[in-house]
Amino acid sequence: MILTQQLTKHYGKVEALHELNLNIEKGKVFGFIGPNGAGKSTTMLILSTLLEPTSGRAYVAGYDVCKEPKAVRQALGYMPDFFGVYDNLKTTEYLEFYAAAYHIPPEKRRSLIADLLELVNLSNKADSYVDALSRGMKQRLGLARCLVHSPEVLILDEPASGLDPRARIEMREILKELRKMGKTILISSHILPELAELCDEIGVIEKGRLIACGAVDDVSVGTRGISVMEVKVLEKHDHALQLLEAFPYVRRLDDKASHFRFQFTGTESDKAALLQKLIDAGIPVVQFGESKENLEDVFLAITEGVGN
């Protein structure tokens, strides 16, 4: 559904994107991870027909973004990382404007807008002025705006940025709903743990290069053999800390008081050896395994040293 081939973008002498190859299949949710300036937004702008690539090709729903921008815009809903709303417009009027801009017939607009507001839990704000909505509500309204022409593909640039925890959870639930509806979603986020639960695949981008791509679990173990481990002990906390620090494959050890988190660069046998060592030392281990949730660590592990 989304395909890029050797996609490259230069801003003067700065290379924002270097030969990016992505293939996102229909109905998949793809998480795009990378620090600021890595090239995520550039990729999304090119896919949204708002920026011309220097070289390479990009396709959305089978349409070339450079040659068939109109068809791409019909197939795609784009939500930028920062977007404003119009003052003095009510929520329904705001959506009506975009519905008209996408040539939705007037007789269909009323029911469409009611459905969209229900999807994003804003039915009770239908008559409120847009600029009076909270940040989270505006973000949800922005999502409804993306869906006004029922696109197959959604490109969401940092949809959860600046939201409080409750608003983030609400946004995540809506995205899950959209996944159920079969939408293909390309999403980037700084709130990395959120993507783990939501995404089928993730891509890690750094300095314009895709340095890891695949299913969340595959990427976390990754080609570099790095995984993020979590160990919980009942007693002898300090002793366990010493042993872990001394173990050769343990890096970035984080003592979270109730448990330890660290990057592990060894093999499966090395993991077994570490567990054995802890047990031999008489430490009561109650949890020993890979951390499933924290993509932030995965991201830090993978991007460590890239570009230096």
**Under rule CB under 8 A, residue 189 binds other proteins:** no
Give how many residues touch other proteins by CB under 8 A.
Answer: 33
The DSSP line for 134-180 is -HHHHHHHHHHHHTTT--SEEEEESTTTT--HHHHHHHHHHHHHHHH
Residue 75 makes CB contacts below 8 A (sequence gap 6+) with 60, 61, 63, 151, 152, 153
Residue 131 or 245: the one with the smaller Cβ distance to other proteins is 131
Asked if residue 249 binds other proteins (CB under 8 A), the reply is no
Residue 51 or residue 210: which is nearer to other proteins going by CB?
51
- Sole binder of other proteins in the list 15, 19, 64, 93 (CB under 8 A): 93
Of residues 30 through 89, those in contact with other proteins by CB under 8 A are: 45, 48-52, 66, 69-70, 73-74, 76, 78-80, 82-89
Nearest distance from C-beta of residue 112 to other proteins, angstroms: 14
- What are the structure tokens assigned to 114, written together? 């009611």
Q: Which is nearer to other proteins, 60 or 198 (CB)?
A: 60
What is the C-alpha to C-alpha distance for residues 187 and 200, in angstroms, rounded to an integer? 11
Residues contacting residue 141 through CB under 8 Å, at least 6 positions apart: 85, 91, 94, 95, 120, 122, 130, 133
Three-state secondary-structure class, residue 251: strand
- Beta carbon of residue 90, minimum distance to other proteins (angstroms, whole number): 9
Residues that bind other proteins (CB under 8 A): 45, 48-52, 66, 69-70, 73-74, 76, 78-80, 82-89, 93, 96-98, 100-103, 106, 145
